[in-house]
Structure 1
Amino acid sequence: MVKNYHATTGVDEFYYGVLNAEETGVTGTVPERIKFLQEISVSQEQSIEKAYGDNKVAEMATSNGTVEVESQFHKLPIEDRIVLFGLEKTESGLYAYGANDNPPYVAAVFAKTHEDGSKEWVGLPKGKFTKPEQSNKTKEDGVEFSSDSMSAEFMDRKVTGFSEEKSVIFGRDEKGSTAARDAIFTAVFGVAYPTSEALPTA
């Protein structure tokens, strides 16, 4: 086996979709893309639980928590905020936060890019996003662009091809290949990777 040691140098192609009632895929024909992803981290709390006897460790077991995701975008469009955070929107175009907001279960996929043109795809089968902190600053002598962040927690879900439920899925494509990308979109979203013809024109 030839191992690849090329490090990640960027992130791209963040997609999400609201899970259908059966959790076999997402609602709609194509997942939604949020452009201009700047940073994203995926972590899972993991601990080793120990049982003792005869003054020593008798057995150890691994305890896994939910998967935590922190992401930052150049801008989170209002349309995506309404969906991801479960906000109510009025006919006049207003939207609001409230105590009874209940964000939907969503699936998400993004790509980690490498300088050799290869990509590592990351799939998150089932989770919920939470509302970000609102922070703004006055304009001073120079121009500074703001950014929007959001957090999420993802849990296990049954994914075709795996014998047990999973919370994070990975796949790697060499430059010019789309096999892993296509497989991860089908597994996580239940639909094919959206081609330019399938994407909305707006």
Structure 2
Amino acid sequence: MAEEVKTYRSSTGVDEFYYAEIDESSENVTNGIIERIQFLQNITVDMPQSAVRAFGDNVTAELAVSSGNITVTSGFHTLPGADKKRLLGLETSNGLTAHGSEDTPPYVACVFAKTYEDGSKEWVGLTKGIFLRPSINGQTKQTETTFSTEEISAEFMDRKVDGFEQEKSVIFGKDAKGETTNRDALFQAVFGKPYPSTTTTTTTTTSA
């Protein structure tokens, strides 16, 4: 195997946020199609770790690593209502959508890309987690128009992923400009489906 070449470029953007529901009732990894939420503005994957010390004879006898919960916080230009319903497991009735204490968000897998100025992309896959309902915010319109943003958080856990001996929660793969080998492998690992090469656009027309 060729040695990986070191690069020192820093990412300058984020793009292509996808999610799909986990299918735990069959051998399929995910259920249904892979959905994209456009206009991702920022995302943070927090993977805390701490060192645990064992003591003896007044010194440290041994060290071990304790891993905390993996938390993802993402900000979008806006979150479409259809995606909120799916991610949060919301109930609708007669055109109304409601939050309640009995809401059960589904397990989902997610993928997004960190972009670089040289055209390369680093893909990040999150294998299994649930999204938590966001705060509802509003602000008066002032002299200058200001666009609001929507932030949503999630927590992720380990899951069995083909190709790895142990269960994993976050997977990375980077492609040079024009290449898609690692992207395609990551989508298969995280979603069990290929990268969605086509995008369906819904157009609404009104009659005069």
Query: What range is the shorter-chain TM-score in?
Result: over 0.9
Q: Does 1:109 align with 2:111?
A: yes
1:25 Cα deviation after fit: 1.4
SS in structure 2 of the partner of residue 109 of structure 1? strand
1:24 Cα deviation after fit: 4.3
Paired residue for 2:200?
A: 200
Paired residue for 2:185?
A: 183
Paired residue for 1:37?
A: 40
Aligned partners of 1:37, 1:183: CA distance in 2, in Å? Answer: 22
Aligned partners of 2:57, 2:28: CA distance in 1, in Å? Answer: 48
Paired residue for 1:13?
A: 16
**C-alpha distance after superposition, 1:59-102 (max 9, x if no partner):** 11001122110100001000000010110012x22110001001
Q: When the two structures are aligned, how many residues end up with a matched partner?
A: 198
Q: Out of 76, 79, 82, which is 2:82 matched to?
A: 79
SS in structure 2 of the partner of residue 185 of structure 1? helix
Residue 49 of structure 2 aligns with an amino acid whose one-letter code is Q
Paired residue for 1:140?
A: 142
Report 1 or 2 for greater relative contact order, CA contacts < 8 Å, sequence distance ≥ 6: 1
Paired residue for 2:55?
A: 52
Q: Does 1:26 align with 2:30?
A: yes
Runs of 5+ in structure 1 lacking a partner? none
Q: Out of 161, 164, 172, which is 1:162 matched to?
A: 164
How well do the aligned residues superpose, as a CA RMSD in angstroms?
1.0
Q: Out of 119, 122, 127, which is 1:120 matched to?
A: 122
Query: So what's the TM-score if we normalise by structure 1?
Result: 0.95
Structure 1 residue ranges, 4+ long, deviating more than 4 angstroms after superposition:
none
